[in-house]
């Protein structure tokens, strides 16, 4: 076994009257796992774990997450330090290259991002062929998939991965902004070499021939933070998808396109959009947020306060402290504290945080709650929220794809199952069937 973890003990499994010994491994932060890879060959049994709630599908040295202690590290650096002191481009470099860049390396990376920011003009025709109401996520995944045709990789994709990574980070930003412009029938705004990554994106989104976009540093800073906070989150649904699809030795564009499709779901990347829809519903209903809190607390009502609670973080989501502050700064800077939906969000947050029901169950606002508010305040339409999430998650997906591809232990992903269907039946010819 090649990865950096060590055997720290054994576990015994008793099956009927036989006892089997399995090794226990420990990761660098003390997490432990029973290695069951030989379980089937030795016992004939598999493990059953629907939804992979307790299954480690790989070892990884990219992200460490401890939900109980509210810890999130990328490549060993705390999310607090990274969000406070780095740009998204620096963090993307860290995730992809495993180290923080020097000034020279960062300049080189920025140059690469600039060099690859323009789309092949033939790709721009694709936008004209989508119907006007096309989902930006479907446009994004189709366009990313088709990048493979315009920018084929070498036989050994690792040889050109540095350029492919820069291409993806830069072009996905352009595709996202173009899909917004096209869906509104506005003229396209091309990337500019003199703007930073986030400022360039905002300019492509909101600049127009009649009203030049004024770059607001507070907004740029908040966008950098949002993208950093979404950079990676270990084996979530979309990242696991990228690794799984890539394990069939599929190119990085197709693997990431699959990840984008996984992220599209309302149970995954679609949650911040759902937050805004809930706030809209409360607003339409007269702004009576207390009624919705009562509905959320009612055990007979399936309604849940979207944007509250987290599957992994049970004390608080470490990303929330950072994003809440950025949210306050943006609302203040844009003088939007009076926006009705944002006002409802603030009231909900305050009431829920002091309500026994939410306190007892350790239900805090999650990162989706605040990211939706910031995106709305800066003018990103609700149906593009998940695209923004994808933009932030890209470096994580690329890093995982590369890690999976390079690992000598990587095999094509092939989970097992327990069959619960009918036993062998006698075949009945069609004319005799009832």
* Structure tokens, 231: 């950079």
In degrees, rounded to 5, the angle at the alpha carbon of residue 388 between the alpha carbons of residues 196 and 269 is 155
Nearer to ligand ACO, 157 or 270 (CB): 270
Q: Which residue is closest to ligand ACO by CB?
A: 309
Nearer to ligand ACO, 35 or 66 (CB): 66
Q: Which of 167, 182, 225, 310 binds ligand ACO (CB under 6 A)?
A: 310
- Burial string for 128-147 (b: 16+ CB within 10 Å, else e) reads eebeeebbbbebbbbbbbbb
Could you tell me where the DSSP H helices lie in 10-135?
Answer: 39-43, 79-85, 88-97, 103-115, 121-129
Shortest CB 363 distance to ligand ACO, Å: 5
Nearer to ligand ACO, 54 or 103 (CB): 54
One of 207, 232, 317, 368 is an active-site residue; which one?
368
Active-site residue flag, 115: no
Q: What is the DSSP string of 316-345?
A: --HHHHHHHHHHHHHHHHTT-TT-HHHHHH
Q: Which of these ranges, 31-39, 243-251, 276-284, 308-316, lies near ligand ACO under the rule CB under 6 A?
A: 308-316
Nearer to ligand ACO, 17 or 356 (CB): 356
Shortest CB 270 distance to ligand ACO, Å: 9
Shortest CB 46 distance to ligand ACO, Å: 25
Say which DSSP state 308 is in: B
Is there binding between residue 309 and ligand ACO (CB under 6 A)?
Answer: yes
What track of x and - describes contact with ligand ACO for positions 228 through 267 (by CB under 6 A)?
Answer: ----------------------------------------
Active-site residue flag, 148: no
Is there binding between residue 36 and ligand ACO (CB under 6 A)?
Answer: no
Is there binding between residue 366 and ligand ACO (CB under 6 A)?
Answer: yes
The arrangement of strands across the sheet holding 32-34 comes to 6-15, 18-26, 32-34
* Structure tokens, 209: 């021939």
Say how far apart CA 306 and CA 339 lie, in whole Å: 19
Contact set for ligand ACO, span 278-307 (CB under 6 A):
296, 304-307
In degrees, rounded to 5, the angle at the alpha carbon of residue 34 between the alpha carbons of residues 32 and 38 is 150
Is there binding between residue 375 and ligand ACO (CB under 6 A)?
Answer: no
Shortest CB 90 distance to ligand ACO, Å: 23
Name the nearest CA neighbour of 285 among 266, 358, 294, 298.
Answer: 294
Nearer to ligand ACO, 3 or 234 (CB): 234
- Helix-helix angle 271-284:367-378, to 10 degrees: 70
**Alpha carbon distances (Å) from 305 to 275, 298, 353:** 8, 11, 12
Nearer to ligand ACO, 37 or 362 (CB): 362
Other Cβ atoms less than 10 A from the Cβ of 165: the count is: 26
Shortest CB 366 distance to ligand ACO, Å: 4
One of 233, 310, 317, 400 is an active-site residue; which one?
310
* Structure tokens, 36: 């069951």
- How many residues bind ligand ACO (CB under 6 A)? The answer is 15
Inter-residue contact 238 to 260 (CB < 8 Å): yes
Shortest CB 293 distance to ligand ACO, Å: 9
Contact set for ligand ACO, span 334-363 (CB under 6 A):
361, 363
Is there binding between residue 368 and ligand ACO (CB under 6 A)?
Answer: yes
Burial class (CB in 10 A: 0-12, 13-18, 19+), 336: middle
Q: Which of these ranges, 71-79, 82-90, 100-108, 366-374, lies near ligand ACO under the rule CB under 6 A?
A: 366-374
Shortest CB 391 distance to ligand ACO, Å: 15
Inter-residue contact 352 to 345 (CB < 8 Å): no
Where on the chain is the footprint of ligand ACO (CB under 6 A)?
Answer: 271, 296, 304-311, 361, 363, 366-368
Q: Which residues are catalytic?
A: 310, 368
């Amino acid at each position: 076994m090649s990865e950096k973890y060590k055997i720290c003990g054994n576990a015994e499994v008793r099956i009927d009257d036989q006892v089997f010994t399995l090794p226990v491994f420990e990761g660098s932060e003390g997490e432990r796992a029973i290695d069951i890879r030989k379980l089937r060959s030795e016992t004939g049994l598999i493990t059953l774990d629907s939804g992979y709630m307790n299954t480690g599908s790989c070892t990884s040295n990219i992200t460490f997450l401890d939900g109980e202690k509210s810890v999130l590290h990328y490549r060993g650096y705390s999310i607090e330090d990274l969000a406070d002191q780095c740009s998204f481009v620096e963090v993307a470099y860290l995730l992809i290259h495993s180290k923080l860049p020097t000034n020279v390396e960062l300049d080189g990376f920025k140059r690469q991002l600039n060099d690859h920011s323009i789309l092949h003009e033939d790709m721009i025709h694709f936008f004209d062929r989508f119907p006007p109401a096309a989902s930006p996520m479907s446009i994004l995944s189709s366009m990313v998939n088709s990048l493979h045709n315009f920018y084929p990789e070498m036989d050994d994709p690792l040889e050109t991965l540095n350029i492919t990574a820069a291409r993806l980070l830069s072009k996905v930003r352009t595709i996202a902004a173009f899909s917004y412009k096209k869906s509104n029938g506005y003229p396209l705004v091309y990337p500019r070499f003199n703007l930073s990554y986030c400022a360039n994106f905002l300019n492509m989104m909101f600049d127009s021939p009649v009203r030049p976009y004024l770059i607001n540093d507070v907004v740029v800073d908040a966008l950098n933070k949002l993208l950093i906070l979404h950079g990676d989150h270990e084996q979530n649904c979309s990242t696991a998808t990228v690794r799984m699809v890539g394990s069939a030795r599929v190119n990085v564009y197709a693997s990431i396109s699959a990840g984008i499709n996984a992220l599209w779901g309302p149970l995954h990347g679609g949650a911040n959009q759902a937050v805004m829809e809930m706030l809209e519903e409360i607003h339409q209903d007269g702004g009576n947020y207390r009624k919705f809190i009562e509905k959320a607390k009612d055990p007979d009502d399936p309604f849940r306060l979207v944007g509250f609670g987290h599957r992994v973080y049970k004390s608080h989501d470490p990303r929330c402290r950072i994003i809440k502050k950025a949210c306050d700064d943006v609302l203040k800077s844009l003088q939007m504290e009076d926006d009705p939906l944002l006002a409802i969000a603030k009231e909900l947050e305050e009431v829920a945080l002091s309500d026994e029901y939410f306190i007892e169950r350790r239900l805090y606002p999650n990162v989706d709650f605040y990211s939706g508010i910031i995106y709305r305040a800066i003018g990103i339409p609700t149906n593009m929220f998940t695209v923004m999430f994808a933009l932030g998650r890209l470096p994580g997906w690329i890093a995982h794809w590369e890690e999976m591809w390079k690992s000598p232990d990587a095999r094509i992903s092939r989970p097992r199952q327990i069959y619960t269907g009918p036993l062998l039946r006698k075949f009945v010819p069609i004319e005799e069937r009832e």
